[in-house]
A and B are shown apart, each in its own frame.
Chain A
Amino acid sequence: MIKSKITLMQYIFLIHGVQMGVGVLTLPRELAENSGTDGWIAIIICWFLSIAASLVIIQIMKKYPNGTILDLLSHYFGKWIGKASHVIFALYFALLANVIFIREALFIQAWILPRTEIYIFILLLSIPSYLIVRKDISILGRYSELIFFMTLWIIIIYFIPLKHANWLHLLPLVKEGWEPILNTVKTSIFSFIGFEIAFFLYPFLQRKEKASMGIVIANTISLLAFLMITIGAFVFYSPDEITQYKEPTINILKVVEFQFIERLEIVFLSIYLFVISTTVLPLMFMTVFCTSQLAGKQDHKRHLFWFLLVECMFVVLFPPTYERNTILQQYIQQIGLILAFGLPLCLWGYVWLHGLFKRRAMQ
């Protein structure tokens, strides 16, 4: 049934790509609002949690190695639950892709092209999206891998503002006790959401014995990226000041200026669009993968076309605003939390019990 295969590298960068999206642009502020400059500790806690959930996902998928979560659910719970899971996952991925896609356009509008309408961005972004997502998962995997290495140099630019840094901002560690830090976990956990696509990637993976290692590496790369950006922002901005900026991750680059180039944050954001695309495109793929499976079709091209068309219609009919997008994002993140953390745990318990009873029955 599954023909295309992805390598371990593609698997790692697909997962990392989905985690690394628009959230990181506002992450330092969100952390600082809740727990000041201790926010980065919360990221490490989130990393532990997401690794635990990721490993559980892999354990579940091991029970049914040749199918996705959809096949697994149909196998254990019957046809109707299987069908329902198709719809739920399709809706979840569609909404998540929609939120990030529109947010991407909003960022371009705010920072780069303030006089252009949102629907034009969506229209223009739809074309390359269509061209990449219409093929199978291995194309997407290659794309994510390429973009990761292509944008790695952004890190170097991030080191330039650090010469103005004051590391004393980070002290003392755990200022107000652990309570605010644990509260921050609630918001920062969303940065790691995205690893649940492992539910779908696992059957495509060539060397399945490396799946656990791969997902740990993917989460760790994301952790390092988040840590670097948040700590960079915390030492650059005063703790009393950082909450003033909506997107401190972009603002911090405004101080970087060379003789031959100014407003480097525009260049950065333009290149960062590629990074955002590695979040959006796999989500779009997952959406149409679910719907085309539901319809019993192998080819998802037509579904993708309709998805993008609906997306364009949506922004024309309901011109998005930053506030509305944020509200929608908060809702969808709650669902993400259930699917990425709740579902694996419940399913793991069920699969384990199921195995136990089966063995009893055999005896």
Chain B
Amino acid sequence: MKRRCISIFVIVLVALLSSCGRNIPLEDLTISLILGVDLDDEMNLIISESSPVFNEDAKKNIETYQLKAATIRDSRKYFDALATGEVTAAKIQVLLIGKRVLEHEGWFSILDTVYRNPSFSINTKVIVVDGPVSEVIFYEPDDKPQMPLYLKEVIDKNYIRTRTVESNLQVLHRQMYEKGMTPTLPKIIKENDVKFVGVVLLEENGKYVDALSIQETSFLLILMDKQKQELTLSIPITTFTDEGGIFNKNMLSIDISKVKSKVTTNYKQGKFHFNYKISMTVNIIERIFPKDKVKEAELKKLIEKELLSRFEAIIEKIQENKIDPIGLGIYARAFQYEQYKKVEKQWGEALSESNIDISLDIDINGTGAIK
């Protein structure tokens, strides 16, 4: 009797078991891999998504839709009306944001669902599109893998080579809330091809202010002390007069194998002072001009001068725009807490008035296999 009771009980429980009820076969899902957020000419929010098609009969292996919607979640009902399967956002790899969106304050709140809904992946790459998002998301080149894969690879590769900032939803969230730092995002552009062109600098509230080229981004990353395995810089040594002609005879490429960038923070005379001490070990990897043009000891000085002027140009850009993509505010908070707290709300302004000095020390390690 007891055993029978237990077996009935078990059967009832098995019938109650969860997760058997709502299974969806993979081929019935429309798995969005790219989500695009943009504004059209009348300032309507445009949401687009792109997902692979798992169907033998379909000619194309990717389906892309674009539509007007009030919010990201709101767009799902329209996508469901269009797409073959149930649209799911759990596997989004890339979030494209149109530059036009960034030109308006308060755009960040549109991403609320991405953070609120636990099923969104927080590692989704965030990329800014200079121009309409639709041009990128509908672009189907013959010689490239599908757009989501391509975009992810491009950003990852440039990240490893110290050319773009780390940018995913998690990092964006941190930078948006952090008072001592302003956000930066990688930027792509669609001309003949879709290509990565540098990073955009945003204000504290997320509004677009300026952009950096690829090489400038490398310098920014050194200032942030975030260099990765590989870092190459190509610079003209401007002291030599370019003799003109087709080939730039004053170009030099250096491969930076080791960088140490240290900041000391001080507060004197109503101003923050940041002193950078950057030391690099470099290898000369390409030198177009002949060897006898300069002695090695002088070359070191020349490289230092060139690099320094580039660092200073970036600092100037930052201070002019009253932003802090480096995160010097985090240093200020850590070492000059009392003073920082006073200006926390207008940190960009405080930074623009502060002194940022850079001293550079280069050690030339090798000059390559030929003389």
Contact = CB atoms under 8 A, between A and B. Distances in A.
Interface of A: 110-111, 113, 115-116, 120, 123-124, 127, 164, 166, 168-169, 171-172, 175, 237-241, 244, 251, 254-255, 257, 262-263, 265
B33 to A, nearest CB: 13
Contacts of B337: 172, 175
A241 B330 contact: no
Contacts of A175: 337
A302 to B, nearest CB: 14
Nearest to B120: A254
Contacts of A166: 330
Contacts of A123: 13, 16
A53 B119 CA distance: 43
A116 B331 contact: no
Contact of A120 (B16, B123, B173, B331): B16
Contacts of B331: 168
B18 A113 contact: yes
Contacts, number: 65
B334 A171 contact: yes
B177 interface: yes
Contacts of B174: 237-238, 241
Contacts of A257: 121, 123
Contacts of B235: none
B22 interface: yes
A81 B13 CA distance: 43
Contact of B178 (A241, A255, A262): A241
Contacts of B334: 168-169, 171-172
Interface string B332-354: 01110100000000000000000
Given A166-B330, A175-B337, 17 more contacts: A116-B18, A168-B330, A169-B330, A169-B334, A171-B335, A172-B335, A237-B174, A238-B174, A239-B333, A241-B173, A244-B115, A244-B177, A255-B122, A255-B123, A263-B119, A263-B121, A265-B118
Q: Which of B90, B171, B174, B337 has the most CB of A within 10 A?
A: B174
Contacts of A244: 115, 173, 177
25 contacts: A110-B118, A124-B13, A124-B16, A124-B17, A127-B13, A168-B331, A168-B333, A168-B334, A169-B334, A171-B333, A171-B334, A172-B335, A238-B175, A238-B178, A238-B181, A240-B177, A240-B178, A241-B173, A244-B115, A254-B121, A255-B123, A257-B123, A262-B91, A263-B90, A263-B121
B71 interface: no
B170 A254 contact: yes
Contacts of B19: 113, 116
A254 B181 CA distance: 23
A109 to B, nearest CB: 10
Interface string B164-204: 00000011011101110100000000000000000000000
Contacts of B333: 168, 171, 239
Nearest to B166: A164
A17 B245 CA distance: 77
Contacts of A172: 334-335, 337
A294 B157 CA distance: 69
A110 B263 CA distance: 43
Contacts of B179: 240
Contacts of A168: 330-331, 333-334
Contacts of A116: 18-19
Nearest to A254: B122
B19 to A, nearest CB: 6
Q: Which of B122, B330, B337 has the most CB of A within 10 A?
A: B122
Nearest to A175: B337
A41 B302 CA distance: 50
Interface string B46-76: 0000000000000000000000000000000
A266 to B, nearest CB: 9
Contacts of B18: 113, 115-116, 120
A257 B92 CA distance: 14
